[in-house]
């Protein structure tokens, strides 16, 4: 009995040892595949931290095996692209996203990478709002006649130089450009650039002593009153912005507002008529009669007295006749006498009038719709590359060495100003029907002549070659490239270096099947993108400069030599 029992123990121990050896030698996924045990559903969860978002999910098994996981992120539901958040798959079941922006809503999914290199079924999509650190700034908004007042209180002012205000027309839709060129030293801001009936969203961010931006305030939203109108005029500009639409001040005459004795003078007829009022001139008395909303203001050429509903008052500058024969009247005295408000922006020499609309005749019943023309994007022009951002009818942009563009869309035109260091000027761009180019002109403020400023929009013609892979593609080998010659690539992980002849060099990194980097050809350095095509035997590439639209980059194609016999010289 003991011998039989002893033999039985040996047999049991041997079976256990064999099973242990198998677990060490054969991957666990292979064991699952052998038993056809699968658990392919991923349940994704998230946690918001002070400076990051943590994602966790359950591990899955699959009969093909599971190599790891990829995380995909978007800022709209279902908006994830084929490019994951990491270059390599994640071995565990947790990922900490530190590339998060306060005040932004993110949408995440996770996909397993199976043993055959393909992605498995995605997880559920999770939505998470990242507020950032606890708000140290409390922001409030107040509606006024024709403008919006923002006020804020901060519980930490020791390390703060000032504040920037950011505005959008949808929640969270802020750009990197604040509403002012310089930070605000106080705790309030009046937004005069509002379109009646439009809902605006605001946040405030502090400018810290190291010139970086601190955590944003809470977001506030407010709708500007539909019954008020706004008209903006700029010194030296022949157009005015009337409730979001550009109009000529003096049609066909190119008359502009001017400063005289520190007062804004203009031919007032266009302004008053845009408000719905009337202007009459009695030549024998050199008298101008302005009527609006039940009030009457009378002024006389060359006289500093005027009347408001028959009551005489005085002003410090007299109306006069310009060299072009136009009657120039001090704007502030007339506008305020009519019961309207006027605000002056000294940084742009712009006066903004806010007035109460007495009917819907003079203003559309709803705010202007977003224009069909979309100016947002990168444009390559004869004055350099321009990056434009569009928010409704408002467009801002940058070019060159911190040069700024600001403007408003009216029909197929972008009308605005530009600033180059200490120089400013006007611009007018007319977009083509297909939206791919514009014919433009510009002039500096101290000059009268207009000059050409044309451009075309950059188009991304490369991403159609992009493939989603479980690991970076391998570009190693010798390639015969027509037009360039032989390229010898060496690759370590996702880093690639290449040689063309004895001097030319290519270097870059690989994500999926795309190699991006630089191409040094003689004394010139180009940007370059190369795609490894299906089958891994052919490549297509493009190279050009940062000042050239991507659709104009030079194209080249190549074949892998080792799979086609000896590598022949390019013919």
pLDDT bin (cut points 50, 70, 90) of residue 3 is: very low
Q: Is the pLDDT of residue 568 over 80?
A: no
The pLDDT, as a whole number, for residue 269 is 85
Q: Which of 226-230, 430-434, 485-489 has the lowest mean pLDDT?
A: 226-230
The pLDDT assigned to 227 comes to 62
Q: Which of 231, 277, 269, 275 lies closest to 251, judged by CA?
A: 269
Residue 237's contacts (CB-CB under 8 Å, 6 or more residues apart) are 256, 257, 426
Please give the helix or strand (H or E) that residue 273 lies within, else none: helix 269-275
Instruction: Provide the 8-state DSSP code for 126.
Output: E
Cβ contacts of 9 within 8 Å, gap of 6 or more = none
What's the rounded mean pLDDT across residues 491-505?
Answer: 89
As assigned by CATH, the class of the 44-130 domain is mainly beta
CB neighbour class for 306 (10 Å; exposed up to 12, middle 13-18, buried from 19):
buried
The set of residues, in sequence order, having a beta carbon less than 8 Å from that of 122 and lying 6+ positions away, is: 42, 72, 109, 110, 111
Q: What is the pLDDT of residue 163?
A: 93
pLDDT digits (tens, 9 = 90+) for 193-222: 887 678 999 999 998 888 888 888 899 999
Q: How far is CA 131 from CA 48, 134, 187, 295, in A?
A: 9, 8, 22, 50
Residue whose token pair is 């994602």? 55
pLDDT at 37: 41
| CATH top class, domain 463-563 | mainly beta
- Topology given in CATH for the domain delimited by 137-223: Immunoglobulin-like (2.60.40)
Query: In which band, very low, low, confident or very high, does the pLDDT at 166 lie, cut at 50, 70 and 90?
Result: very high
More confident residue, 338 or 210: 338
Distance CA 46, CA 49 (A): 10
Q: Which two tokens stand for residue 338?
A: 């009519």
Q: What is the pLDDT of residues 57-110, one digit of tens each?
A: 999 888 888 999 999 999 999 989 888 998 888 999 999 998 888 778 899 999
- The residue assigned the tokens 């040996």 is 10
Question: Of 44, 225, 240, 13, nearest to 126 (Cα)?
Answer: 44
Average pLDDT over residues 181-199: 86
Mean pLDDT of 303-307: 93
pLDDT at 10 over 50: no
* 137-223 and 463-563 in the same fold: no
Interatomic CA distance for residues 512 and 89, integer angstroms: 12
Confidence grade of residue 158 (pLDDT, cut at 50, 70, 90): confident
Q: Output the pLDDT for position 31.
A: 32
Instruction: Flag the least confident range among 99-108, 187-196, 366-375.
Output: 366-375
As a whole-number percent, the residues of the chain with pLDDT over 70 amount to 86
At residue 391, does pLDDT exceed 80? no
Share of the chain above pLDDT 90, in %: 33
Provide the pLDDT for residue 33. 33
Of the candidates 430, 419, 356, 396, the one whose C-alpha atom is nearest the C-alpha of residue 145 is 356
Give pLDDT tens digits for 415-460: 888 988 888 888 999 999 888 899 999 988 777 788 999 999 988 7
DSSP letter string over 419-437? EETTEEEEEEEEE-TTSSE
DSSP state of 371: P
356 forms beta bridges with: 228
The predicted pLDDT at position 348 comes to 81
Give the CATH superfamily of 228-356.
Copper amine oxidase-like, N-terminal domain (3.30.457.10)
The mean-pLDDT minimum among 34-38, 249-253, 296-300, 488-492 falls in 34-38
pLDDT at site 5: 42
Q: What is the pLDDT of residue 221?
A: 93
- Sketch the domain layout of the chain as residue ranges: 2-26, 44-130, 137-223, 228-356, 377-457, 463-563
């Amino acid at each position: 009995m003991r011998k039989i029992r002893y033999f039985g123990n040996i047999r049991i121990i041997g079976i256990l040892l064999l099973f242990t050896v198998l677990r060490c030698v054969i991957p666990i996924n292979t064991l699952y595949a052998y038993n056809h045990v699968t658990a392919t559903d991923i349940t994704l969860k998230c946690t918001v931290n002070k400076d990051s978002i943590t994602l966790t999910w359950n591990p899955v098994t699959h009969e093909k095996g599971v190599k790891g996981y990829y995380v995909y992120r978007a800022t709209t539901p279902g908006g994830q692209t084929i490019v994951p958040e990491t270059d390599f798959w994640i071995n565990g079941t947790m990922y900490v996203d530190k590339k998060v922006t306060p005040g932004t809503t993110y949408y995440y999914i996770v996909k397993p990478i199976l043993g055959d290199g393909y992605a498995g079924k995605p997880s559920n999509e999770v939505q998470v709002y990242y507020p950032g650190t606890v708000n140290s700034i409390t922001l409030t908004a107040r509606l006024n006649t024709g403008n919006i007042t923002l006020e804020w209180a901060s519980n930490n002012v020791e390390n703060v130089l000032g504040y920037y205000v950011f505005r959008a027309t949808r929640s969270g839709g802020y750009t990197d450009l604040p509403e002012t060129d310089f930070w605000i030293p106080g705790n309030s801001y009046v937004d005069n650039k509002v379109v009646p009936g439009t809902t605006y969203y605001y946040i405030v961010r502090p400018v810290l002593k190291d010139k970086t931006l601190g955590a944003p305030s809470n977001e506030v939203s407010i709708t500007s009153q539909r019954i008020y109108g706004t008209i903006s005029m700029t010194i030296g500009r022949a157009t005015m912005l009337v409730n979001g639409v550009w109009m000529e001040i003096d049609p066909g005459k190119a008359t502009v507002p001017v400063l005289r004795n520190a007062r804004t003078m203009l031919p007032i007829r266009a302004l008053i008529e845009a408000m719905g009022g009337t202007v009459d001139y009695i030549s024998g008395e050199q008298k101008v009669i302005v009527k609006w909303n039940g009030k009457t203001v009378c002024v006389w050429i060359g006289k500093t007295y005027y009347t408001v509903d028959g009551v005489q008052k005085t002003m410090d500058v007299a109306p006069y006749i310009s060299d072009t024969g136009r009657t120039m009247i001090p704007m502030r005295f007339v506008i305020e006498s009519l019961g309207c408000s006027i605000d002056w922006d000294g940084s742009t020499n712009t006066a903004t009038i806010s007035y109460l609309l007495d009917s819907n005749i003079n203003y559309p019943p709803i705010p202007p719709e977003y224009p069909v023309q979309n100016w947002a994007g990168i444009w390559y022009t004869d004055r350099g590359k321009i990056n434009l951002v569009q928010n409704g009818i408002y467009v801002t942009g940058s070019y060159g060495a911190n040069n700024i563009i600001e403007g408003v869309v009216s029909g197929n035109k972008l009308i605005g100003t530009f600033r180059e260091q200490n120089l400013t000027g006007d611009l007018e761009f007319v977009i083509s029907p297909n939206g791919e180019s514009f014919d433009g002109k510009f002039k500096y403020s101290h000059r009268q002549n207009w000059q050409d400023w044309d451009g075309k929009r950059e188009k991304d013609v490369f991403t159609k070659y992009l493939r989603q892979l479980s690991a970076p593609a391998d570009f190693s080998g010798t390639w015969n490239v027509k037009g360039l010659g032989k390229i010898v690539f060496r690759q370590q992980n996702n880093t690639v270096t290449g040689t063309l002849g004895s001097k030319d060099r290519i270097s870059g990194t690989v994500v999926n099947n795309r190699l991006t980097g630089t191409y040094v050809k003689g004394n010139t350095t180009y940007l370059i993108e190369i795609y490894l095509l299906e089958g891994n035997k052919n490549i297509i590439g493009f190279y050009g400069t940062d000042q050239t639209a991507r659709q104009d980059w030079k194209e080249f194609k190549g074949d892998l030599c080792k799979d086609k016999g000896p590598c022949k010289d390019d013919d």
